[in-house]
Amino acid sequence: MMNPSCNTCEFKNSSLFKNCSSDELNHLNDNKCFNVYKKGQVIFHEGNRPLGLFCVFNGKVKVSRLGSDGKEQVIRLVKKGDTLGYRSLIENSKYSASAIALDDTEACFISASEFNHLIDSNVKVASDLMRMLAKVLGDTQDKLVHLAMKPVRERLAEALLLLKSTYDDKKSEHFSISISREDLSSIVGTAKETVIRFLSEFKEEGIVSTRGSEITILRADKLLQISSLYD
C-alpha cells in the first residue's frame, strides 16, 4: 500500500493541517506512519492513553462508547479526510470512546510529540484545532437533545440522513451504504429489533430499500420531513 504524501494529499486543503507550510508537511510526512485496518478492527480503545492522532485517508469509522448498561452508543461517524483522537491528546487524558473501522480503512498516524510541536509552533493550526473542537462539541449537544426529545422513528430518519450527509461524496439521488443493524441501532440509541421494524415501515412506504446489510435511501426528502416533525 502506497504511503500518501502530506504535501499532495487530496484532503490537505480541508484538513486540520491546511495552514501548514510545505516544510511542516514534509516533516510530518517523514515522521508519520500509514496504517491499514480491516473492517471491525479497533483503531483505539476506550480507556487507553493516546499516543498520537489519526488522519483517515480512506474508509469509514465509528466512534462509540459503552453505557452503564453495557450497550454501545455511537457518538460520531468519521469519513475520509477527518481527524481522530485529538481531544484526548489535547487533554492528556484517556480515550473516552473507541474508534472502530466500519469497513476497510486506511489512516495516517502522527505521534503526540510531533503534533504537540506543531501546535506550539503554528498558531493557525492551533486556532483551527479549537474551531474543530467547538464544532464537535456543538454536534454532540445537538445529538443529545434529539435523543431526549425525538421518538425512535424520527431519530432513525435523522440517522439515515446523517449517514448520507457524511458518506455520500457524489451527492447522489439514491445513496447506498452497508451498515449492520447493530451499528445503526447504536447510532439511533435504541434496540436492534426496533430499528428493523421501522426500517420495514420505511421500505413499505418506498422511502428506502434493503438488500442484506445494504440500505439504499430512495426518498431523502421524506426522511427529512419525518426527522423534522418534532423540531
Give yes or no for residue 207 having a pLDDT over 70. Answer: yes
Give yes or no for residue 217 having a pLDDT over 80. Answer: yes
Give yes or no for residue 118 having a pLDDT over 60. Answer: yes
**CATH C-level class of 12-140:** mainly beta
For 4-43, what is each residue's pLDDT tens digit? 899 999 999 999 999 999 999 999 999 999 999 999 999 9
Query: Span 193-208, mean pLDDT?
Result: 96
Give yes or no for residue 60 having a pLDDT over 60. Answer: yes
pLDDT score at 171: 79
pLDDT score at 147: 60
> What is the number of other CB atoms lying within 10 angstroms of the CB of residue 103?
15
* Average pLDDT over all residues of the chain: 90
* Band of pLDDT at residue 68, cut at 50, 70 and 90: confident
pLDDT score at 32: 95
Give yes or no for residue 145 having a pLDDT over 70. Answer: no
* Band of pLDDT at residue 170, cut at 50, 70 and 90: confident
Task: Give the whole-angstrom CA distance, residue 74 versus residue 90.
Answer: 22
Query: Span 202-217, mean pLDDT?
Result: 96
Give yes or no for residue 1 having a pLDDT over 60. Answer: no
pLDDT score at 231: 55
Beta 105-111 vs 52-58: how paired, if at all?
Answer: antiparallel
Q: What's the CATH number for 150-227?
A: 1.10.10.10
Cα R_g (the chain), whole angstroms: 19
pLDDT score at 26: 95
pLDDT score at 71: 82
The residues spanned by each domain of the chain are: 12-140, 150-227
All three cell numbers of 226 = 419525518
pTM: 0.84
Query: Span 45-63, mean pLDDT?
Result: 95
Q: Which residues in 89-193 belong to E strands, given as ranges?
A: 98-101, 105-111, 175-178
> What is the number of other CB atoms lying within 10 angstroms of the CB of residue 192?
15
Task: Give the whole-angstrom CA distance, residue 184 versus residue 167.
Answer: 14
Residue showing cell 426518498: 219
For 72-83, what is each residue's pLDDT tens digit? 888 889 999 999
Give yes or no for residue 132 having a pLDDT over 90. Answer: no
